Copies of this chain bind each other. A is one copy, B any other.
């Protein structure tokens, strides 16, 4: 990426800290990036090799006994662009080292366990960049908005989530949590586009409109979830999403910063290179 186009690191600018206020964040903004759409798209392309190389180094480390991994949690209102992030940002990495899990409404079997059970099963193995398309946060978001769980239970879950994520981080997983933040107007336009295109109808359901009506309640649920669970070990980043190119570029940068922070190296040979060359020549 043309580094000069970032005035400040997005991980600094967008991190949810004490006093976090979702309502004050402009979904149409592009904090820290000094450029327009074409700059942003060019930067995304330019940096995808860097992201891919870092991911390969993480994978290589795991082949040599390393146990570290990365987990990107994506949460957002419908149409906010989770799918586009997976396709355009995550898609630049080698599929061998990536695991995407889309969490739907829990099955009856999953409901028989605690809410973190199915999440634990999908945590990334060493060397893997795991992506959660929705996550355990649904249990404090839709559950709060729809009253699927009592306020006491929701409150308790914030603490359980903090403990869980602390444990995951301690086991060697770098956690990044992203809320893609769009405006209600932008959602309206995107839903309208889905309805206009028969090849997009499968992405739509009438339930999306029921959720849309609850917009303010969801914003409040996000505010509470983020302020209760943005920790040094598992920070939340609120990424303005009305401009798709900005959101993609930013999440790419968050991944690059997270992987870059691991100080990854190509593993040194655990064999005698000269001897191996000799044996190969004779074979």
Contacts and interface: CB of A to CB of B under 8 A. Distances in A.
Contact of A63 (B86, B133, B199, B202): B202
Contact of A94 (B86, B192, B268, B277): B86
A87 B95 contact: yes
A98 interface: yes
Nearest to A60: B202
B201 A273 contact: yes
Given A202-B60, A273-B195, A100 B91 contact: no
A60 B91 CA distance: 18
A267 B201 contact: yes
Given A95-B91, A96-B83, A102-B96, A276 B202 contact: no
- Interface SS of A by simple majority: helix
A113 interface: no
* Copies held by the complex: 2
A72 to B, nearest CB: 11
A213 interface: yes
Interface stretch (A28-36, A144-152, A204-212, A242-250): A204-212
A232 interface: no
B266 A195 contact: no
A57 to B, nearest CB: 9
Q: What 9 A-B pairs are tightest by C-beta distance, nearest first? A: A201-B269, A202-B267, A60-B202, A199-B266, A95-B100, A87-B94, A90-B95, A206-B271, A209-B279
5 contacts: A90-B95, A91-B94, A95-B100, A192-B280, A202-B266
